[in-house]
Amino acid sequence: MIAPRVSVVVPVHNCVATVGRAVRSVLDQTLPAEEIEIIAIDDGSTDGSGEELDRLAAEHAGLQVIHQAASGGPGRPRNVGLDRATGEYVFFLDADDHLGPEALERMVAAADEHGTDVVVPKYVGIGRKVNAQLFRETVPFTTIYNDLPNLYGSLTVLKLYRRRLLEEGKIRFPEGVLSGEDQIFAVRGYFEATGVTVLADYDYYYWVERQDGTSALQKGGAPAATYFPQIAELLAYVTAHTEPGAVRNRLLCRHFAIEVFSRFDPRYARFDQAEREETKAAARELVRTYGNPEVMAELSPYMRLLDHLLRNGPESLIDEAARVHATEPPPIVVDGEHAYVAYPGFRDERVQIPDAVFEVTELHQRVELVAVEWREHRLAVRVAARIERVDPKAQHAELVVRRRGERGEHRLQLEPDEGGELIAEIDFGDARFTGGRWDMSATIRVGGIVRNGALVPAKGVKVTPPEPRMVAVEEGTPCVTPYLTKASGALALHVGSGRVVQIDRAAVEGRTLRLEGRVAAAVAVPVTLRTVLKHRSSGQTRSAGLEVSRDVDTLAFTGMIGLRGLAPGKWDVWCEVSDGVDGLLRAGLSPTADLPDDRPDGRLGQRAQAFRTVKDNLSVEIRAGLLRRVRRLVQA
C-alpha cells in the first residue's frame, strides 16, 4: 500500500456543531483522496462529537477515528494522531476550523518545490484576528533568523510539517495543558526546519472563533501552575538556540508581550488572589532570568511598568495598574517633546519610577473631515482633529492649505464649534490664492509634539463638497472648486476651475442677445459684471454691461449685447468681473436654460443662433445674411 502524501490530524473535544464541517473540508480537497489520511481523535467528548465522527468514518474509508478519555488539552490527542500518521507530511486542523478546497494540494506542491519542512498557509479569521502582515506576499523560502516575514507572527501549529522533521527531532506536544502547548512545538519546528514557506496566494485555512465562549482561551486559558512552566521551557529553548543580540531580542520580545505580560490583560482581574500571586511569581522569575533592557524597551509602557514592578516593586501597584489597564486607558501627558502614559506610579515621588518606563512614542491621532460648506463668502471646513488621550485643552490645531508641488501655504486656526468639533473659515478675499490645486490638512500641536493628517472623511461617512464659487484670487480665473481627491478621498481645492456662471435664458432678438443668469459667488464686496463675446478664430471681442442684484451667495444678472456687425462664426459667451474680483468666467448653461429660436434681422439680414456646446456652455453662431453674401460675390 502506497503511503499517503498528507496525514491530517484533528483533535476533537465537544465540537459536535463544527466537526462535520472540518472533516468534510478535508474530504472535499482537490488533492486525490488516496493521498490523504484523516486521523480524528475524540478526546472524551460528551456532546455527541464522537458519534458524529463514527458516522462519518462509516461513509468514508479515509477517515480513522480514535476514542480516548479526556486528557485536559489538545496536546495528547495531537500526539496520538502524530504517532498514528503515515503521510510524508502532517497537517494539524482544529475541529472548529476548516480548509479551502485547494489548500492541501497547494501546500504539498509548495513544500515539494522549495524543499521546505514547514508551510505556513494564509489564515482567514472568522470572528478572530489574524496577522495580516505575515501574509502580505508569498515567500518561497525563509528561516526563523530572517526579520521578514516575521514567522513569529504565527506560533500556532495549524501548518503543514514534513513528518521526517518531527520524527527525527522527536518534536511532540506537552500534554495536559489547556493552552500554550502549541508554542514550543511551533518554535521547535521553525528552528529545526531546513526552511519555511509562507503562502499568501489563496485562502487556505478558515480560523473560527467559537460562538459559545467555551474554548480554553475564552475561559481564561491554562492556570499559572501549568502554563508558565511551558513558557519557561520555550524561553529557555530560544535562548539556547540563539546568540545574544538582535535575533534573540526580537524573539524574546514577542514571547514577553504575547505569552508573559498578556496574562495581566483584563482577565487578570477575574483571577482569584492565589492565581494572581502565582502569576506574579512566575512572571517575575521569567523577567529576571530572560529579560533585558533592549527587549523591554520595545514593549508598551504597560508592559515596561509590569517589568519594573516585578523586579523592583511595590508589588501592590501591579494590581492597581492592571485594574486601570482593564477599565479605561489612562491619559497621556506631554512634557516638551516627550509623551508619557500616566499609569499609577507616574511621577509619584513615593515609588520614583523613571519616566522612561511610561514613555510612549506612538501617539494615535484622529484627523477626519466632518463637513465643508459655504457660509456666505467663506468656505467653512469642519474637522475632528486631536491626539487621543491627551487633554484637549492642551492641544492646538491649524488648518493648513498648501499648494501642490510648489511653495506656498495658508494657515488658519481651528476653533471649537458648538458640536465639540473644530472649524476654520477660509476668506478668499483676505487669503488670495493663485491658480492650481491646493491640498488641505490639519496640524495638531501639543507641547513640542506636532502631528499632521489629511482631511479624509471617517470610514463609512459621506461628505459631499459644496459647489464651486466665484472668489477673489491672486491671479488666474476667479473661482474655486472644493473636491475630494480620487487617490485618498482627501479634501482639496482647485483654484481657477469650476462652473460658477449659469445662464437661465439666452434669446436672440433681432440684432440683440438678451441674457438672464446668475453667478455663484463667495465675495464680500460689490462687483461689476459685463458680458463678453469672443470670436473663436480671430479672438475679436465685444462687451456690454449687466445689471446685477445680490442675494446672499448669488449674483443675479440681466442684460443685452448687440450683435450687429459681428463677423460670421462662433462667438463664445463670457462673464467679465471687476472691482474687487477680476477675471473672465465662461458662461455655462443651466440644465433647464431657455434658448428660444433665433429671429433673423429681416428676411435678408444676418442670422444669429444661441446654442449649447458639448461642455454645456453658451455660444452664439453668426451667419452672414443674403445681402452680405451678394455683396461679397460682387466684390469678388
- Give residue-wise pLDDT tens across range 578-610: 988 899 999 999 999 999 875 555 444 678 899
pLDDT at 256 over 90: yes
- Report the pLDDT value the prediction gives residue 636, as an integer from 0 to 100: 52
Determine the Cα–Cα distance for residues 2 and 575; give it in Å rounded to an integer: 88
Same domain, 177 and 215: yes
Choosing from 472, 495, 518, the residue where a domain stops is 495
Residue 617: beta bridge partners? 588
Same domain, 489 and 547: no
Choosing from 166, 190, 222, the residue where a domain stops is 222
Provide the whole-model pTM: 0.81
Confidence at 214, pLDDT banded by 50, 70, 90: low
Specify if 526 maps to a domain.
Answer: yes
Query: Which helix or strand (DSSP H or E) is residue 64 part of?
Result: strand 63-68
Same domain, 485 and 535: no
Same domain, 466 and 604: no
Comparing 82 with 180, which gets the higher pLDDT? 82
Q: Which of these, 424, 401, 419, lies nearest to 411 by C-alpha position?
A: 401
Q: Cell 528561516 belongs to which residue?
A: 143
Specify if 126 maps to a domain.
Answer: yes
Specify if 354 maps to a domain.
Answer: no
Same domain, 430 and 465: yes
| Percent of the chain clearing pLDDT 90 (strictly above) | 86
Tell me the one-letter amino acid at 24.
Answer: R
Same domain, 62 and 183: yes
Same domain, 71 and 110: yes
Same domain, 450 and 506: no
What CATH number is attached to the domain comprising 614?
A: 2.60.40
Mention every residue, 6+ apart, whose C-beta is less than 8 A from residue 6: 31, 35, 36, 37, 87, 88, 89, 90, 91, 104, 108, 160
The residue ranges of DSSP E strands in 376-527, in sequence order, are: 378-387, 396-403, 409-413, 415-416, 422-427, 433-434, 436-446, 449-454, 469-470, 473-475, 479-484, 491-495, 501-509, 512-520
Choosing from 222, 252, 271, the residue where a domain stops is 222
b/e 553-564 (16+ beta carbons within 10 angstroms → b): bebebebbbebe
| 340 and 333 Cβ atoms separated by less than 8 Å | yes
Specify if 358 maps to a domain.
Answer: no
- Worst-scoring range by mean pLDDT, 394-403, 494-503, 599-608? 599-608
Confidence at 17, pLDDT banded by 50, 70, 90: very high
Same domain, 76 and 165: yes
Specify if 103 maps to a domain.
Answer: yes
- Report the pLDDT value the prediction gives residue 432, as an integer from 0 to 100: 81
- Report the pLDDT value the prediction gives residue 630, as an integer from 0 to 100: 46
Determine the Cα–Cα distance for residues 390 and 340; give it in Å rounded to an integer: 10
Peptide bond into 482 cis (omega under 30): no
- Give residue-wise pLDDT tens across range 332-373: 999 999 999 999 999 999 999 999 999 999 999 999 999 999
pLDDT at 181 over 80: yes
| Percent of the chain clearing pLDDT 70 (strictly above) | 95
Determine the Cα–Cα distance for residues 383 and 441; give it in Å rounded to an integer: 10
- Give residue-wise pLDDT tens across range 126-176: 999 999 999 999 999 999 999 999 999 999 999 999 999 999 999 999 998
The residue ranges of DSSP E strands in 289-448, in sequence order, are: 332-335, 338-341, 365-375, 378-387, 396-403, 409-413, 415-416, 422-427, 433-434, 436-446
What is the chain's mean pLDDT, rounded? 93
- Report the pLDDT value the prediction gives residue 375, as an integer from 0 to 100: 93
Q: Which of these, 281, 311, 282, lies nearest to 296 by C-alpha position?
A: 311
Same domain, 520 and 483: no
Q: Give me the half-sphere count of Cα atoms (radius 13 Å) on the Cβ side of residue 94.
A: 19
What CATH number is attached to the domain comprising 136?
A: 3.90.550.10
Specify if 356 maps to a domain.
Answer: no
- Worst-scoring range by mean pLDDT, 11-20, 130-139, 219-228, 584-593? 219-228
What CATH number is attached to the domain comprising 437?
A: 2.60.40.10
- Measured distance between the N- and C-terminal CA atoms of the chain, rounded to whole angstroms: 106
Number of domain units in the chain? 3
- Give residue-wise pLDDT tens across range 458-474: 999 999 999 999 999 98
Q: What are the grid coordinates assigned to 134, written together?
A: 505575515
- Give residue-wise pLDDT tens across range 274-308: 999 999 999 999 999 999 999 999 999 999 999 99
Specify if 303 maps to a domain.
Answer: no
Q: What are the grid coordinates assigned to 331, written together?
A: 491619559
Same domain, 393 and 438: yes
Domain that holds residue 604: 501-629
Same domain, 477 and 545: no
- Report the pLDDT value the prediction gives residue 441, as an integer from 0 to 100: 97
Specify if 274 maps to a domain.
Answer: no
pLDDT at 213 over 60: no
Confidence at 36, pLDDT banded by 50, 70, 90: very high
